[in-house]
Amino acid sequence: MENIVVWQGISDKTLEVLKWHYVKNNIEVQSVINGNAEGISVLINYKAVINAAWEISYVEIRSVLGEKETFNTLKKEDGKWFKNNELSPEFSDCTDIDITLTPFTNSLPVNRLSLKMNEEKLINVVYVNIMEKEIAPAQQRYKKLSDTTYRFQTVPNDFEAIITFDDTGFVTDYPGLFQRAEIH
């Protein structure tokens, strides 16, 4: 069965349509983001493969910013990260991935960590900044505030948000950035 989640970008005027389904022991994701970010027209397509523990094993990202197109792949195999098929030891401590312009990647640590109430965890992520065309390691912190609410912080703390998730761990409200859109 295919599931669909739709998010509307608030500060950036984007619309994301994400499809996901189970294939054997994995979750496969395909998503399209279209709109305007930072005054530039954007079209982003990404695909991801996630295991049953919500650990990412593969992602490919094709982005068109204005008239410039980029394509990147990230793969985690036997505990090692590969960027565009090149070994990337700078990501060796990273467990998750965070892609700008989508709230989906916040679902990865929320589902994977299974935090208890008021528990918090510092994680290392591969941070994919679509607009800056940069991919680098970063640290983030998640704290469970309720069954559906988490505090998200970048480390050092230059950004913080209280994010609301549904019972399957997908973002419903990311204040100022993303809002779940209803499909009719």
Give 108-151 pLDDT, tens digit per residue.
999 999 999 999 999 999 999 999 999 999 999 999 999 999 99
Q: Tell me the C-alpha to C-alpha distance, in Å, between residue 161 and each of 3, 11, 121, 130, 142.
A: 26, 14, 15, 20, 10
- pTM for this structure? 0.94
Residue 62 has pLDDT above 60, yes or no: yes
Indicate the helix (H) or strand (E) that contains 63: strand 56-65
CA atoms within 13 A on the CB side of 37: 23
